[in-house]
Amino acid sequence: MSERYQFDARDRALVEAAATLLKKVAFAEITTPAQLVSIAKLQHVLSALPRVTSGVEISVSVACPRRTFGDIETMHWWDVGVEQGRLSISSGGHYHHPQTGGDTFTTMNWEAVPEEGTELNDYRESLWMVPDVRSFPEAVASIDLAAGGYTLEITDEDNTLLEEDDQDEEDASVEDDEPGDEEESNENTESAWSITPIDDVEQRLASSVDADEVDANEPAYAYGVQKCDSCGCALSERGLFVDGRLRRDLKWGNMCAPCFATQGEAIGWGVGQLYARQCDGRWRMVAGWRTSDAGA
């Protein structure tokens, strides 16, 4: 007798929402034929439930454009995947407010293993500050990929056609980067990043950055940051700053490197995010993700 997943009504509602998300992606204009191959395989896995489909390892991630609610800016993403028989459905996002800075968050995650009970962690009650937080089924129902601004990322090592997609994107970016062309493609801008410390204190912070971790995470930026909340210096004249919690205090603030060294708690999920000023003036996050986010 083949292995089967053990679902209740709550689990079936989540799986149905995941299937709806994949259907929307399959019909979206942003989806390439190569990506459709992987999506179809993951759709087959869901259609066969509760029976287990072996030998399929795929993850699909959809991210929405940034939204503004007064001073608050948010973005969200939704993931569906299977790896060695383990089904996973999750969602999260990034939140930014000028007074408190920015941070990534997890909305929910669900996992199912054959012949075992499922596990669901729902963090919506703790995300009271995020104005557009929703359950996974509610969020999927509201997704309109035709509205534009959405991005799609698929991981499927068995689908070699995805490599051709990547090569086509690289070729297109090379063709666009002609002599005298003053604009770089958004894709190149997103993937390239740099750290330029301006003193020894920033150099010590920079030495803690894991380049592989930066590359493994979706680019996240801090917006509206102008000065250090501790000493008042202009952060535009610095190379790094930390959006983090003060030592022995629940308050958060934007700190230049010297102030962080004397007043900051740490760099890490829930305590502080490190940002580096890029050549275009934006502040890109280079440390402080949730460990499980890397490679997501």
* 251 or 166, higher pLDDT: 251
Range of the domain at 40: 9-159
User: What's the pLDDT score for residue 174?
Assistant: 45
Question: Do residues 245 and 272 lie in contact, with contact meaning Cβ atoms separated by under 8 Å?
Answer: yes
For 4-44, write each residue's pLDDT tens digit: 999 999 999 999 999 999 999 999 999 999 999 999 999 99
Q: Is-cis flag, bond preceding 50, omega within 30?
A: yes
Number of domains in the chain: 2
Taking the C-alpha atoms of residue 291 and residue 228, their distance in angstroms, rounded to an integer, is 27
- For the question of whether the overall pTM of this predicted structure is more than 0.85, the answer is no
Instruction: Examine the domain organization and report whether 155 and 271 are in the same domain.
Output: no
Instruction: Examine the domain organization and report whether 239 and 107 are in the same domain.
Output: no
Examine residue 167 and state whether it is found in any structural domain, yes or no: no
* 293 or 77, higher pLDDT: 77
Examine residue 170 and state whether it is found in any structural domain, yes or no: no
Examine residue 135 and state whether it is found in any structural domain, yes or no: yes
Mean of pLDDT values over 155-183: 65
Examine residue 3 and state whether it is found in any structural domain, yes or no: no
Taking the C-alpha atoms of residue 260 and residue 225, their distance in angstroms, rounded to an integer, is 16
Examine residue 169 and state whether it is found in any structural domain, yes or no: no
Instruction: Examine the domain organization and report whether 211 and 128 are in the same domain.
Output: no
Examine residue 253 and state whether it is found in any structural domain, yes or no: yes
User: What's the pLDDT score for residue 24?
Assistant: 96
Instruction: Examine the domain organization and report whether 120 and 39 are in the same domain.
Output: yes
User: What's the pLDDT score for residue 276?
Assistant: 94
Question: For residue 140, what are its two tokens?
Answer: 């999927």
User: What's the pLDDT score for residue 188?
Assistant: 53
Which has the minimum average pLDDT: 100-104, 155-159, 175-179, 202-206?
A: 175-179
User: What's the pLDDT score for residue 15?
Assistant: 96
Which has the minimum average pLDDT: 162-176, 224-238, 275-289?
A: 162-176
Taking the C-alpha atoms of residue 211 and residue 74, their distance in angstroms, rounded to an integer, is 25
- Percent above pLDDT 90 for the chain: 52
